[in-house]
């Protein structure tokens, strides 16, 4: 009987450490990537809003050419820009179209974040259930009352 319980405990521990914690780590990595993508789109959106005032004339800036050595630069007017729409595909858009696309993309990514957080909560709940089962198997039902 003790050998059977030991085998079951080992199987639960293996499931917990390899499957559930691995799933949780994968979800965390996906969440980090999604947050990074949102940050990049927000940065692009901010840049487009700032340059919308100077869209017809261009603007002056400083460019780092290496070793913190900056030179003055004048940009051409921004007519169209290339935006990654996903899966490695780029499309050319007007700044106004790009802003609309960015708003929709950020909304989509925020929905994805919500879904990933829900999945993460489910995995965490499963981890707690398995830990409870392990506690009962190892220590009996007296310890599980806490």
Domains of the chain, residue spans: 23-125
- The answer to whether 35 and 116 have CB atoms below 8 angstroms apart is no
- The answer to whether 41 and 102 have CB atoms below 8 angstroms apart is yes
Q: How far is CA 31 from CA 27, 79, 89, 114, in A?
A: 6, 34, 22, 9
pLDDT tens across 34-62, in order? Answer: 999 999 999 999 988 888 776 677 778 88
- The answer to whether 132 and 138 have CB atoms below 8 angstroms apart is no
**What does the pLDDT average to over 66-74?**
89
CATH, range 23-125: 1.10.287.370
Q: Which two tokens stand for residue 87?
A: 């899966």
Q: Which two tokens stand for residue 17?
A: 């450490």
Which one has a higher pLDDT value, 66 or 123? 123
Task: Name residues whose C-beta falls within 8 Å of residue 36's C-beta, 6 or more positions apart in sequence.
Answer: none
Checking if the pLDDT of 86 tops 80, the result is yes
Which DSSP symbol is given to 75?
Answer: P
Alpha-carbon distance 129 to 37, whole Å?
A: 33
Which one has a higher pLDDT value, 5 or 18? 18
Distance of CA 134 to the CA centre of its chain: 32
Q: What is the pLDDT of residue 144?
A: 46
| pTM confidence score | 0.77
- The answer to whether 42 and 21 have CB atoms below 8 angstroms apart is no
- The answer to whether 38 and 106 have CB atoms below 8 angstroms apart is yes
Q: What is the pLDDT of residue 63?
A: 87
pLDDT tens across 137-146, in order? Answer: 888 765 545 4
- The answer to whether 64 and 70 have CB atoms below 8 angstroms apart is yes
């Amino acid at each position: 009987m003790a050998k059977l319980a030991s085998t079951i405990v080992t199987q639960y521990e293996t499931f917990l450490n390899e499957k559930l914690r691995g799933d949780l780590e994968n979800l965390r990595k996906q969440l980090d990537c999604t947050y990074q993508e949102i940050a990049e789109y927000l940065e692009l959106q901010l840049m487009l809003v700032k340059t919308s005032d100077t869209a017809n004339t261009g603007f002056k800036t400083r460019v780092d050419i290496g070793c913190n050595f900056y030179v003055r630069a004048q940009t051409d007017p921004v007519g169209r820009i290339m935006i990654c729409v996903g899966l490695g595909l780029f499309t050319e858009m007007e700044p106004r179209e790009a802003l609309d696309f960015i708003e929709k993309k950020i909304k989509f990514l925020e929905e994805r974040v919500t879904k990933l957080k829900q999945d993460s909560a489910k995995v965490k709940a499963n981890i707690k259930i398995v830990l409870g089962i392990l506690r009962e198997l190892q220590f009996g039902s007296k310890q599980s009352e806490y």
